[in-house]
A and B are shown apart, each in its own frame.
Chain A
Amino acid sequence: MTTITRRALGLVTAASFTALAATGALAQEKRIIAVSIPAATHGWTGGVVYHAEQAEKEIEAAFPNIDVIVKTSPSATAQVSALEDLAAAQKLDALVILPFTSEELTGPVEQVKAAGTFIAVVDRGLTDPAIQDLYVAGDNLAVGANTAKWLAEKLGNEGKVVVLRGIPTVIDDERIQGFTEVIKGTNIEILDIQYANWNQDEAFTLMQDYLAKYPQIDAVWANDDDMLLGVLEAVKESGRTEIRYALGGNGMKDVIELVMAGDPVTPISTPYPPSMIKSAIYMVAGQFTGQAPMRGSFKLDAPLITPENAEQFYFPDSPF
């Protein structure tokens, strides 16, 4: 496992191992880290569940005094109930939470915090940032902006692009904002922006409609790899050859494979890796085992994934 996550946290982990050996922490009482995440209902959350479960296995094997409990919930309401159940059953030393929605989860997480639990928030923030001890997230603005910068350079600041949006959420708004702000500074025209709800099927349909509506499209930005696969299929079927680039983002392994193979239409991607949950769990583990205080905000970069570095973002065993 030579993932970027592991590298970034290599220091923490190494420090923890040493600390563990030095202090004979084996004899310590169990520390409980509860992890509350959305259930695997689509690709990205499927990846989140996978990485959380991997982290659970690895951390429990490495640190016998830590017990990681992963709990998935299919909705915001269910997640609130899950929090109540978790907190009622035992004293939680830490909670790593990827909240379904910011508004609904803020109160319940505050309740957990009141019992003295260390709170790590991942991806979507809470309405009151004062509750969190640690915040780990990707950079959605950069996902859009970095893609746009690359695209503008490749197109020579000229051309016509279409954009597919996800579900109306803050994440989607930020990506679109990052993208459009960069494009505004060029002569590139954004022909259209419509919702395809991060759904492969809907993206296929929407791309077919874009192709019918616009005789000339130079590039497509799908904002997400699930949608990109639908886009690629629609373009392939149409037989249109003027589309020079079709780009996504998120780090789906099928798309990373395209990048690794040097695909001419999808030569790059931008990560918004579901493995960020793993980063957060490792950080919290460091807090309890290595006396490595973990407080503050940690924003993952969204660097371009290119054929040269794609391997670092490739998790062949992950479902996503």
Chain B
Amino acid sequence: MTAAIASRSAGPRRIRWADMGPFIALAVVVLVGVMINSSFLSGTNIANVVTRSAFVAIIAVGATFVISSGGLDLSVGSMMAFVTGIMILAMNRLEPSMGGYAIVAGAGVGLVVGALCGLLNGLIVTVGKIEPFIATLGTMGIFRALITWMSDGGSIPIERSLREPYRPVYFGNLLGIPVPVILTLIVVLVGAFVLYRTKYGRRCMAAGSNADVARFSGVSVAKVRTMAFVIQGLCVAIAAICYIPRLGAATPTTGQLWELQVITAVVIGGTALRGGKARVWGTVAGALILEVIANLMVLSNMVSEYLVAAVQGVIIILAMLAHRFIK
């Protein structure tokens, strides 16, 4: 370990083996995948798996901020459905006057609504001084009910004329890389920069590791935490932007239980659930691990369909244990 640190001392950041845990776990899962089914490594399969992990990965980057600053957001799945619904309604409304540009305008509306939803969560937690778990449990129900109400329990489809021009945002490629993957990379790079290189990032960690100490050193813990929820809201909106073209509709089941996947991805990635420690790249590895496991469960013929969820649970726990023992 010392050797590793020494050899990288010139680098911008020290590499610690404990941080490699999620990547090692990902490598193991992928290796198992190759052994189980030869079509696992096919270009299409890999592209599918990586592309669809984009939603959870992007939202989980936001969750890394919230969790490392000492918060928790259970509302992200419902918020995602709500923001998706608002965006589609906005796009449909703007389409007659703006044509294809309605997509861009709708995306803008989505970002604003996402940020506001995050701000609402943040203010309830910091100004209202309500436990994040309870505050976001409340908004989780609110957002889910709103999307159900907006859709009458059915679905809110996007105008047919917008489907074709919007499709590339999920199904398109740029230099051979799927667009959602590029979006994820941008979000992660920006997230990593903010967390590791800015004053805000350090304050985030300080607020999460010990709020009192942070306060004494002049950090406005409330501001930092509220901001983390706003970042989370923005990430949800970005995920929604690349989610809409996938199926072209928002329904009451959109994003259901994603909050659990997001939290799992963040924790597998090495971020401490009690705050104070953030690993953005690990979060992405965590999101990929979840998606690859689900993919493998379908590709393999070994497990009864009734037991798939149990195997997934076992693998997640094993990944966490491995992570712990590598430390």
Contact = CB atoms under 8 A, between A and B. Distances in A.
Interface stretch (A54-62, A83-91, A208-216): A208-216
Interface string B149-180: 00111110100000000000001000000000
B253 A39 contact: no
B54 to A, nearest CB: 12
Given A168-B306, A319-B151, A319-B153, 11 more contacts: A39-B148, A46-B252, A192-B298, A193-B305, A205-B52, A205-B294, A212-B42, A212-B44, A212-B48, A226-B253, A318-B154
Interface string B263-302: 0000000000000000000000000000000110011000
A40 B305 contact: no
B254 A201 contact: yes
Nearest to B254: A201
B37 interface: yes
Contacts of B48: 208-209, 212
Interface of B: 37, 39-40, 42, 44-45, 48, 52, 148, 151-155, 157, 171, 246-249, 251-254, 256, 294-295, 298-299, 305-306, 308
Contacts of A210: 298
Interface string A236-277: 011000000000000000100000000000000000000000
Contacts of B253: 41-42, 198-201, 226
Contacts of B299: 209, 212-213
Nearest to B309: A195
B308 A204 contact: no
A165 interface: yes
Nearest to B42: A212
A46 B308 contact: no
Interface string A82-124: 0000000000000000000000000000000000000000000
A320 B155 CA distance: 7
Q: How large is the interface on A (under 10, 10 to 19, 20 to 34, 35 or more residues)?
A: 35 or more
Contacts of A42: 153, 251-253
Given A165-B305, A195-B305, A212-B44, A201 B298 contact: no
Contact of A40 (B52, B247, B252, B306): B252
B247 A230 contact: yes
Contacts of A195: 305, 308
A204 B44 CA distance: 14
Contact of B153 (A46, A198, A212): A46
A281 interface: no
Interface in A1-57: 39-43, 45-47, 49-50
A22 B214 CA distance: 82
Interface of A: 39-43, 45-47, 49-50, 165, 168, 192-195, 198-201, 204-206, 208-213, 226, 229-230, 233, 237-238, 254, 318-320
A205 B171 CA distance: 14
B52 to A, nearest CB: 6
A208 B148 CA distance: 27
B325 to A, nearest CB: 31
Contacts of B52: 205, 208
B148 A40 contact: yes
Contact of B154 (A204, A230, A319): A319
Nearest to A38: B153
Contacts of B305: 165, 193-195
Contacts of B308: 194-195
